[in-house]
Each structure stands twice: as structure tokens, then as C-alpha cells.
Structure 1
Amino acid sequence: MTATLEAAVTEYVEARGAKLAYRRIGHRFARKLVLLQHFTGTMDAWDPSVVNALAEVSEVFVFDNAGVGSSGGTTPDSVEGMADYAEGFIAALGLGEVDLLGFSLGGFLAQVMAARKRVAIGRMVVAGSAPAGGEEHLLEVVEKAFAQNAPDVRLPLFFTPSAKSQAAGKAFVDRTLARSHDRAPDKGVSVSDPQAKAIIEWCARTDPEHLSLKSIATATLIVHGSDDTMFPSDNAYTMFKNMQDATLILYPDSGHGALFQQPETFVTHVKTFLEL
């Protein structure tokens, strides 16, 4: 391993007029994996146990999209606008064909990128996400989570109330805090407001025939928590039924952060999928 998520140097690249911050983890593999982050999430919100393990089979790139964390520019208020910068990031680094792992909002970006084919995508993992026109309860769930005054808002936001899920959540939070230097800052409403607008607009779209999903030919692994309150699991089934080449996995007693509740299981599933 040339670096871990906790220790990797933050680098910068110019893409579409914005200075985007990123970190590169793992060996220089032929396979490249680009991670697309959740609502308001930065590079430091990823789980090191997931990222570092995936770096055993791919060269992993985490980055802050425009206006987020350590990156410059302004956060777009549309999914397509965010996808523009993600595609620009991949092109600016000259990565060629990449695999994508999109979590939550990042899964929206992955779908757009796979549908419009501006960059070459080998395989795609979509976790805790929803299709255009899908069911979302973003503002309600976030409001309830903050009202609980938990030690970390991600505990009620990403995990179920069960003792097992909450224990896994606490372990996840501890792992995300392992990096002690050069952490990406939280930029507050300058990120949350446009991203919330983008999420709500995406899920408000009318696509009764799921034509956008049916246009996606990229082999896709869909991972979802059984008790995701932000984007209910019906969304995962809709994507599975309408994408051309999709596999669906539901994790039991898991919320929005199912991939972080069962990191070893998730990594095993993703590694197997990527290496098919």
C-alpha cells in the first residue's frame, strides 16, 4: 500500500475552473475506483476500513466536489452540475476507464455519469441511493436526527436504533476521526443548501417508465440497508428491476449507512463484483 485514507497526502487538480482536492490510496493498479460522496460529506467522511480494503484491488480516488471540503469553486444545485465536476475530475487526472462507488447523493451522480457516457465506466456500485423520481425523506430524517442530540448526528442518521447497529455506528464514527491532520472542513449551508435542492429536485422528477434507469447498461451492484429511512429500500428494488445489468444486496437491520455498518461484508461483495 502506498498510502491509507488516514495518511494520504491531499493533492489538487484543476477541473472545469475549480481547484478540486483529492487523495489517492493504494498501489498504481490498472483498475481505478472513484468514490462519490453523500450529502455534505467530505473526503474525511469515508470509512477508512472500506477505502483501505478496496485499495487492495484498485487504486482508489476520494475527492471533494466543487465547493465541498478542501475544494474550491461553488457547489452546484443540480445532480447534473455535480456530475459535470466529477467527470471533469476524472478527465483532468487522465484516469481513462474508471469504476464508480456512489453513496447516497453520490449514487445519483453515478447514474447520470453512466447514462450519458462522457467518461468510460467499467463497473458501478450504488449504495444507499435512489433513482430519479425516487422516494426521499431527506429533510425530515435530517431534522429528526439533529433533534436527538446524539454524540454524532450520523448515529441516528445512518444506523438503526438497535443496539447492534448503534455499536457498529460508534465504531464507524471512531474510524472516520482517525485522521488527525489536514482534514477537509465542513462548509455548512454553502454546501448543504444547494445539495439539498439537488436531491429534492432529483427525486421530484417524473419518469414513470424509468427510462433513465433503462438507459444504463453499466454493470451495477446495488447495496442498500433494509431500514433506510432517508431513501427507503423500494428505491433499490426499482433500480435493480430497471437497469440493464444490476445485482441487488440488502443488508439486515441496517439504515442509510449499511456499507459502514458491515464494512467487511460490503468490501467482500464489492471486491467480488469488481473482479468478475
Structure 2
Amino acid sequence: MTDYTHDTAPTRFVEASGIRFAYRRFGNTAVGRTPVVFFQHFVGNLDDHDPAISDGFAADREVILFNNTGVASTSGTVPDTIEQMATDAGAFIDALGLTNVDLVGHSMGGLVAQQVALQRPDLARKLVLVGTGPRGGVSIGEMPAETAALFGVKLDQQEDMWLPVLFAPSETGRQAGRAYVERILARKDRDASPFGEQVFAGQGTAIHTYGTTKDPAYAILKNITIPVLVVNGNDDIIIPTINSYILQQFLPDAELILYPDANHGAHFQYPDRFVTHTTLFLDR
């Protein structure tokens, strides 16, 4: 087991397909469990992952966090398709010398993780999809203007932007949100690489195209034959919760968990519960 935690693991770099990927790798490598690779949400980087979750996983398996192409300290131009993001992610995993991994994808990261499972069935063992949906899902990439505006606000503490995006508006949700922000701000050498407009534009185009390209009867999901755990909050305002039902109904081997009084970041609101449930799923 490495001595590193979420807050102390060094940022490393690896070249893959002409891209210099920034990543962090830590956790227990002694028990022989499959490493888990986390796929980040829209405009998120290494330091928006929740240490309560990654440290929870790292107790008994290896955890790998990375920046998508063109995001923060990873080089290249942000792809404007989910398919290219998945191709790049597969190349990154290959460059680490890994041949079998579990994938945990949140929001846009869930779209990319699904696509990796489709493009690289040799690589993915199990799939965890949080706050996400299928290609052509309900209102994916078509959020109301007032919801989309949440991503563009400028704040003294910019991380507070995530509070209404990820957490329920109840007092319980607000408290969980403030605790999450405190956790992600605890790392002393946070990645301060700036986000350019190209990140918003490229990722926004990719999500919009993926969401508005309809897949009649969600037929493509039948090609993801590995076990899948679908997790969401009961009222996701970013990728509506109905999409989680659709995933569970149309994926060949999927189970669904919905957390109460929770929004788009349900796993951040209930990190201990999420780690427990996901660990049970991955260890079966």
C-alpha cells in the first residue's frame, strides 16, 4: 500500500497519443483488487474529486484520478465529442500499463466511461455510473438557461459554484455541500491551472451532441454487457433522474440506487454510503 492519500498523492504525468496527461495514483495495491479509474464531470479537474470517496476506495484498492485532454494541467485540445474523450482515456489507461480496470464516471464522466466500455470491452471489468444517462437521454445537453447559468457564476471562493449544481437545496443538502467544499479545498497544492473558454465550449458541445443524438429504444446500451451500478439523487437538476431509470432498464446487467434528498452530486452528499455500496458491488 502506498503512503499517499488523496491530499498528498503527487501529480504525475504520462504521454499517450501525443497528450501529456496529469494524473494521481494511490491506494492499496497489495490485495489484488482491480484498480478503479475515476472520470470527471463537466469542467472538473483533479481537485474536484471528493477525498472522502477516493480515500475510502484507496483503503482496499488502487485509485487513479486524471485530467481529461486539454483540462487544467493535461495538454492538448479539449475534444468536442464524447467518443474522442473515450479514445483519449483508453490511451491514457494503456500508457499506465493497465489491462483491466473498473470505471467510475460522474455526469459527463459517466458518458465517457460508458463509451470506454463500448470501445474497449477488453479494458473495463465493471462500471459505476453516477448522475448520468444514456446517449440520447432525457434533456441531456438541453438544460434550461437558468440551470446552465450556474456554471458561469464568478465567486470569491469559486468552488462554491458547485453547491447548487451538486447538492439538494435542503438544509441537509447545504450542510453536505459545505462539507464537500471544505474537503476539496484541503489539499495544499491544488491544481491552479486556468480553464479557458475552450474547455466550456468543447465539453459543452460534446455533451449536447451526445444527448441530442437519439438512440431508438436505447439499443446501444445492450452492447455494455459488464455489470453496472447506477447511482443518483432523487432529484437531479443537471441530468434528470429519469435517465438513471433508463440506464437500469436497458443495460443488460445493471442495478440502481437512488439517494434521498439529493441532487446531481448524490455521492458527494452521502460519501460513506456511496463507498460502502460501491465496494460491495465491485467486490462481488
State whether TM-score is above 0.5.
yes
Distance 1:246 1:228, change over 3 A: same
In 2 relative to 1, CA 179–163 (structure 1 residues): closer, same or farther, beyond 3 Å?
same
1:81 aligned residue: 84
User: What CA deviation, in whole Å up to 9, does each residue of 1:99-135 have, x standing for no partner?
Assistant: 0000000100111111222542111100000100012
Relative to 1, partners in 2 of residues 1:213 and 1:43: Cα closer, same or farther, differing over 3 Å? same
Q: Tell me the TM-score normalized by structure 1.
A: 0.95
Q: Using the alignment, how far apart are the partners of 1:51 and 1:23 within structure 2?
A: 11
1:65, distance to aligned residue in structure 2 (A): 1.2
Instruction: Report what 1:23 is aligned to.
Output: 24
Q: Is 1:179–2:187 an aligned residue pair? A: yes
Distance verdict in 2 for CA 1:253–1:186, change over 3 Å: farther
**What do residues 41-84 of structure 1 show as CA deviations (whole Å, max 9, x unaligned)?**
00100000100110112100000011011111111000001001
Corresponding residue for residue 109 of structure 2: 106
Residue matched to 1:275? 283
* Number of residue-to-residue matches in the alignment: 276
Equivalent positions of 1:47-62 (< 5 A) are: 47-62=50-65
Give the letter for the 2:257 counterpart. Answer: I
Task: Give secondary structure in 1 for the equivalent of 2:216.
Answer: coil
Q: Report if the CA contact (8 A) 2:153-2:161 is conserved.
A: no
What SS does the corresponding residue of 1:130 show, helix, strand or coil? coil
TM-score with structure 2 setting the length: 0.93
Counterpart CA distance in 1 for 2:143 and 2:41 is 12
Partner of 2:100: 97
- Superposed, 1:39-54 pairs within 5 Å as 39-54=42-57
Amino acid at match of 1:197: T
- Measure the CA separation in 1 of the matches of 2:192 and 2:36: 20
How far apart in 2 are the matches of 1:182 and 1:169?
Answer: 19
**Runs of 5+ in structure 2 lacking a partner?**
none
Deviations 1:157-214 (A, max 9, x none): 1112111101100000110011111525231312111000000111001112211111
**Is 1:66–1:73's contact at 8 Å kept on the other side of the alignment?**
yes
Matched-pair contact (CA < 8 Å) for 1:87–1:119 = no
- Superposition RMSD on alpha carbons, in Å? 1.7
Residue identity over aligned pairs, in percent, reads 41
Structure 1 gaps of 5+ residues are none
| SS at 2:194 equivalent | coil
In 2: Cα distance, 1:174 partner to 1:130 partner = 28
Matches of 1:155 and 1:87, distance apart in 2: 31
Please give the alpha-carbon distance, in whole angstroms, between the structure 2 residues aligned to 1:139 and 1:84: 30
Deviation of 1:144 after TM superposition, in Å, equals 4.3
- Which runs of 4 or more aligned residues in structure 1 lie more than 4 Å from their structure 2 counterparts after TM superposition? 144-151
